[in-house]
């Protein structure tokens, strides 16, 4: 297999993880701006793309043309660029592409569990906690989680969340993401953490994910590498591989 | 509908919950040792049984004969008594019986999520926390959770949990339930709490359930009452109704 | 001893706690609007006041005149009303009055520990969690905690808390209380909870208090009742009795 | 100042921390087996010792003779070796030595707060959580914490902790350290974590410390370096410097 963006932080971590995996062989490690022909020439069956938003879509189309399966962790994909890949794959029936915004198994499971639990609880809120050098609040993961919870509540015809607050200091009740409150904590020493709190009269369910290091993404990347060849077409999100039913 | 064991702690809580539910009508509240004929005479379609282990199986067979659906929360059921109900229901094709050891939605979800997550993590342990008047350790819920986790790991062909401990004070590493470590905390002020910790290199997933009051069982009981009539045969466990797929 | 406001929720809980304490004798239980002469006539040495803001200051001055020690948990005291009691006690040298906004030992300790720890950490934030019927956010306890933390940081000449946020949804970063961020979660099933998170590079200290029931105030009330007679003058805050040095 | 054991994991982290501190100057970095004369020749006023148990006591006596203040983080000190240093310092009245088993401010504060809170709670238990490569259970920190809690309870004449357990799987209730239950969790992904749970009827106080990285020891080491010169004699434990009163 091949790694694109092999000199980057995520890419180099993937290179080491592949080298440590006895069932995988690394045949090409390509820096972000090198030519992709090396991937095909080396005979790679699967490529992992952790490059940059401006390069990733071009990489995918080029390697799909060459019959190489792809696992894509680069950010910047939207509905339009995903649709173009889906169309392209319709003409290449044996090729599989998996695009996922998050490869940490625990984070993906936390989000999936929160969405499934949401319809059974009267209340739900999200707290995300990160290091204080982060520039955006809430985190993308927390926004996705809150949106998925809101969609699950809407599908179950649940009404607005109970909240009797009438006197509030500005900001105390957090940000409103599709009607779900999200609180962003910034604390030196933390990395990336998310907590979903669900409550009914007399009980609470808490789902928490702690990410301490980017090595936590490797089991998810390797899982995708091993499965993408047997999943033709476009797959979006690692949760599709996790057999949660 | 009818409540059996209506004078008990759980039964009386169910009586109040049914009275507060606009779509349900209570037609009979039967104490543990009263005659069941009142249930049939009152025209109940569904009965909830929170009686005692010595009475519950007899109640179920008598009401199945009368064509009444049952939701059973009484403890003491085993594989043999469940098999006898399943056989009986084979002769009464329209009747449904649901037996569940736990009606707290959050506790049931916590256990289901832990079992589904277990195969994706290298490590897992269970901590349960209760008031210090509890006589058994670990709790039944924690034992069930650990067994379900162990079964999921075995199904995924995972090996023993990593543990380099060579010097240990007796008891420090908890109890061994099917190879999964379970720790029992007893603390004044607590009610019933369970925490499942799952770990991979660089990340942790935590699933926690807090039960503060037995009113937390009511949404699960009412859900079962509303669905049992459309689920003929024997259903074991509330998770079957929770649409987790 | 005597209880003022004995028919109220807190007052009646105090009455039961005093009746259960072998070393204390209840000689008068006075409803909010009854005459205080019964306290003096009954020979009470100590009175506990859980009445209403409009009555409490009058009660205190009347009983100080009668030489009765007081433990006051009624809200509504400010610097001016406290100063008037202090002045009055200067003329009654043997009499003690303790006014405290919170009698939960754990809550008082959490706040005291957070203030003492604050100067040793680069980051600190406060999360408070309550049931969704609460009308104000943040809670008074959380505001006091944040102010005490801010004062401790200022005394240690620490600068502003690190926070690189440049893009934020409105409210995500919580309320600003003297420069300390406070987040208010509202969730069905909760009672009253507070968490203080302190962070340095590579480590986190978390102090959390959970209040499940107003019986948690009783050990603090009884402690104050037993000590107030040997602490002449005005004492503000239960932490003064807790021997934290 | 000088660092002894400068090539070790802790020593090299101290070297970097000193180099980053504008008010401190590193004049000697000595490997574990080099001659100490370089420390004196370089004019160091303070030395930090992170060497090995077999060397540390000799280092301390040699540098005390030379009038150098010492901050010692090496393990292996006991009452006898500490007494020998105290005796030696009686003859060198201007010299200060600080020996501490733990330099993580948060861990030291957690232990100090737990000991101070213990007398006010009916129940207390300790949970420590580490990576699964750790060979001993419970951790030394958890044992010290439990012992300090037990001493505080004894000093307050509190009786045994409430525990009605009569049926238990072996190990479920944890290890007994001076009558306090300690539970050891081992989980991939964790580093070093400790949680002290204290409970009364209706309330819980939780104090938790998370150590993610050995950089968390540096603020404590630098604090000791800056203060040891003005604390003649022997000081045991970083908490002596933390102004907790």
Return the biggest CA–CA distance within chain D.
66
Is D229 at the interface with chain C, CB within 8 A?
Answer: no
Judge whether residue A34 has pLDDT over 90: no
Residue ranges of D 95-124 with Cβ closer than 8 A to chain C: 104-107, 109-110, 113, 116-117, 120-121
Is D154 at the interface with chain C, CB within 8 A?
Answer: no
* D120 closest CB neighbour out of C105, C202, C213: C105
Return the biggest CA–CA distance within chain C.
66
Contact call for C172 and A174, based on CB within 8 A: yes
- List the catalytic residues of C: 130, 134
Q: Strand, helix or coil at B240? A: helix
How many residues would you count in chain D? 245
Report the gap between the CA of D223 and the closest CA in chain C (Å): 10
Is B160 at the interface with chain D, CB within 8 A?
Answer: no
Q: For an interface test with A, which of D189, D214, D216 has the most A Cβ atoms less than 10 Å from its Cβ?
A: D189
pLDDT in tens, D119-130: 999 999 999 999
User: Are B59 and B35 within 8 A, CB to CB?
Assistant: no
ipTM of the shown complex: 0.92
Please give the pLDDT value at position B245. 60
Sign of CA dihedral B117, B119, B123, B129: positive
Q: Give B20: exposed, middle or buried? Use CB within 10 Å, 0-12, 13-18, 19+.
A: exposed
pLDDT in tens, B61-92: 999 999 999 999 998 899 999 999 999 999 99
Q: Strand, helix or coil at B110? A: helix
Does C235 belong to an annotated binding site?
A: no
Is B159 at the interface with chain C, CB within 8 A?
Answer: no
Please give the pLDDT value at position A90. 97
Domain borders along chain C are 2-99+215-241, 105-212
Q: What is the mean pLDDT of residues D88-113?
A: 96
pLDDT in tens, A7-26: 999 999 999 999 999 999 99
Sign of CA dihedral B182, B184, B185, B190: positive
Band (pLDDT 50/70/90 cuts) for residue B243 is: confident
Q: What is the mean pLDDT of residues D181-187?
A: 98
Tokens of D30: 């000595």
Q: Give C113: exposed, middle or buried? Use CB within 10 Å, 0-12, 13-18, 19+.
A: buried
Is C188 at the interface with chain B, CB within 8 A?
Answer: no
Write the secondary structure of chain D as one string of H (helix), E (strand) and C (coil).
Answer: CEEECCCCHHHHHHHHHHHHCCCCCCCEEECCCCCCHHHHHCCCCEEEECCCHHHHHHHHHHHHHCCCEEEECCCCCCHHHHHHHHHHHHCCCCCEEEECCCCCHHHHHHHHHHHHHHCCCCEEEEEEEECCCCCEECCHHHHHHHHHHHHHHHHCCCCCCCCCCCEECCCCCCEEECCEEEEEEECCCCCEEEEEEEEECCEEEEEEEEECCHHHHHHHHHHHHHHHCCCCEEEECHHHHCCCC
Is A212 at the interface with chain D, CB within 8 A?
Answer: yes
CA B73 – CA B68 distance, rounded (Å) = 16
Does C217 belong to an annotated binding site?
A: no
pLDDT in tens, D196-245: 999 999 999 999 999 999 899 999 999 999 999 999 999 999 999 997 76
Touching partners of D (3+ C-beta pairs < 8 Å)? A, B, C
Band (pLDDT 50/70/90 cuts) for residue A243 is: confident
**What residues of chain C score a pLDDT lower than 50?**
none
pLDDT in tens, B89-102: 999 999 999 999 89
Band (pLDDT 50/70/90 cuts) for residue A245 is: low
CATH class of the domain comprising C105-212: alpha beta
Report the gap between the CA of D23 and the closest CA in chain B (Å): 35
Please give the pLDDT value at position A144. 94
Is A202 at the interface with chain C, CB within 8 A?
Answer: yes
Beta sheet of C175-177, edge-to-edge order: C175-177, C180-186, C123-130, C192-200, C203-211, D203-211, D192-200, D123-130, D180-186, D175-177
Band (pLDDT 50/70/90 cuts) for residue B224 is: very high
CATH topology of domain C2-99+215-241: Rossmann fold (3.40.50)
CA A165 – CA C184 distance, rounded (Å) = 10
Q: For an interface test with C, which of D112, D202, D207, D223 has the most C Cβ atoms less than 10 Å from its Cβ?
A: D202
Contact call for D105 and C113, based on CB within 8 A: no
CA C164 – CA C154 distance, rounded (Å) = 21
Contact call for D197 and B177, based on CB within 8 A: no
- CA separation, residue D25 to residues D17, D20, D32, D59, D71 (Å): 11, 9, 20, 21, 15
CA A39 – CA A27 distance, rounded (Å) = 8
Sign of CA dihedral A38, A41, A42, A47: positive
Query: Do you find a cis peptide bond into B116, omega within 30 degrees of 0?
Result: no
**Nearest CA to B189 among C214, C196, C239?**
C214
Judge whether residue A32 has pLDDT over 80: no
Please give the pLDDT value at position B33. 74
- Phi and psi, residue A79, nearest 5°: -60, -35
Q: What is the mean pLDDT of residues D144-156?
A: 97
Q: Which residue has the tokens 């006010």?
A: D120
Q: For an interface test with A, which of C123, C172, C186, C196 has the most A Cβ atoms less than 10 Å from its Cβ?
A: C172
pLDDT in tens, D207-216: 999 999 989 9
* C216 neighbourhood in chain B, CB within 8 Å: 189
* C202 closest CB neighbour out of D109, D113, D215: D215
Say whether B134 is catalytic. yes
pLDDT in tens, C52-95: 999 999 999 999 999 999 999 998 899 999 999 999 999 999 99
Does B5 belong to an annotated binding site?
A: yes
Q: Which one-letter DSSP state was computed for residue B53?
A: H
Candidate from B241-245, C140-144, D181-185 with smallest mean pLDDT = B241-245
- CA separation, residue B158 to residues A225, B118, B181, C120 (Å): 20, 10, 16, 44
Q: Which residue has the tokens 């030394």?
A: D140
* B210 neighbourhood in chain C, CB within 8 Å: 189
D69, D130, D183, D209: the active-site residue: D130
Report the gap between the CA of A34 and the closest CA in chain B (Å): 31
Tokens of B233: 């045969």
Chain A: residue whose CA lies nearest to D191: A212
Q: Which residue has the tokens 């015809």?
A: A157
A33, A69, A88, A130: the active-site residue: A130
């Amino acid at each position: 297999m091949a790694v694109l963006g092999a000199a980057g932080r995520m890419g180099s971590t993937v290179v080491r993880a592949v080298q440590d995996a006895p069932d995988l062989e690394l045949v090409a490690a390509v820096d972000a701006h090198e030519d992709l022909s090396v991937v095909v020439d080396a005979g790679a069956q699967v490529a992992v793309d952790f490059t940059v938003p401006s390069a990733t879509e071009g990489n995918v189309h080029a390697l799909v043309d060459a019959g190489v399966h792809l696992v894509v962790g680069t950010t910047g994909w939207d509905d339009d660029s995903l649709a173009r890949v889906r169309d392209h794959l319709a003409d290449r029936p044996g090729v599989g592409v998996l695009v996922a915004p998050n490869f940490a198994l625990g984070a993906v499971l936390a989000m999936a569990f929160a969405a499934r639990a949401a319809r059974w609880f009267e209340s739900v809120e999200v707290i995300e906690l990160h290091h204080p050098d982060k520039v955006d609040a809430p985190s993308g993961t927390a926004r996705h989680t809150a949106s998925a919870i809101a969609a699950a509540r809407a599908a179950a015809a649940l009404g607005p969340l109970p909240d009797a607050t009438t006197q509030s200091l500005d900001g105390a009740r957090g940000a409103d993401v599709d009607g779900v409150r999200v609180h962003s904590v910034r604390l030196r020493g933390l990395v990336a953490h998310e907590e979903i709190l669900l409550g009914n009269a007399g009980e609470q369910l808490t789902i928490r994910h702690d990410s301490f290091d980017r090595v936590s993404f490797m089991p998810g990347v390797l899982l995708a590498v091993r499965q993408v060849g047997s999943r033709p077409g476009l797959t979006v999100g690692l949760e599709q591989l996790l057999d949660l039913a």
